[in-house]
Amino acid sequence: MRYLILALAALWAGAAAAQTPAERGRYLVETISGCGNCHTPQGPTGPLAGRALSGGNTVEDNPGFTAIASNITPDRETGIGGWTDDQLVLAIREGKRPDGSLIGPPMPIGLYRGMADADVRAIVAYLRTVPAVHNKAAKSTYRIKLPPAYGPPVGQVNAPPRTDKVAYGAYLAGPLGHCVECHTPMLEGGRRDTKRIGAGGQPFNGPWGTSVAANITPHGVGKWTDAQLERAIRTGVSADGRKLFPPMGFAYYAGISPDDMAALIAYLRALPSAE
Q: Look up the pTM and report it.
A: 0.91
Average pLDDT over residues 196-204: 92
Amino acid at 129: T
Residue 139 DSSP SS3: coil
Q: What do you get for the CA distance between the two ends of the chain, in Å?
A: 48
| 116: confidence class by pLDDT, cuts 50, 70, 90 | very high
Question: Could you read off the pLDDT of 213-272 as tens digits, one per residue?
Answer: 999 999 999 999 999 999 999 999 999 999 999 889 999 999 999 999 999 999 999 999
How many other β-carbons are positioned within 10 Å of the β-carbon of residue 144? 12
Cα(9)–Cα(99) distance, integer angstroms: 47
Beta bridge partners of 243: 237
How many other β-carbons are positioned within 10 Å of the β-carbon of residue 120? 23
Task: Note the maximum CA span of the chain.
Answer: 64
Query: How far from chain centre, in Å, is Cα 42?
Result: 18
Residues in the chain: 275
The mean pLDDT value of the chain amounts to 91
| 275: confidence class by pLDDT, cuts 50, 70, 90 | confident
Question: Could you read off the pLDDT of 24-83 as tens digits, one per residue?
Answer: 999 999 999 999 999 999 888 788 899 999 999 999 888 899 999 999 999 999 999 999
CB 198 within 8 A of CB 215: yes
What's residue 12's pLDDT?
Answer: 40
What's residue 17's pLDDT?
Answer: 53
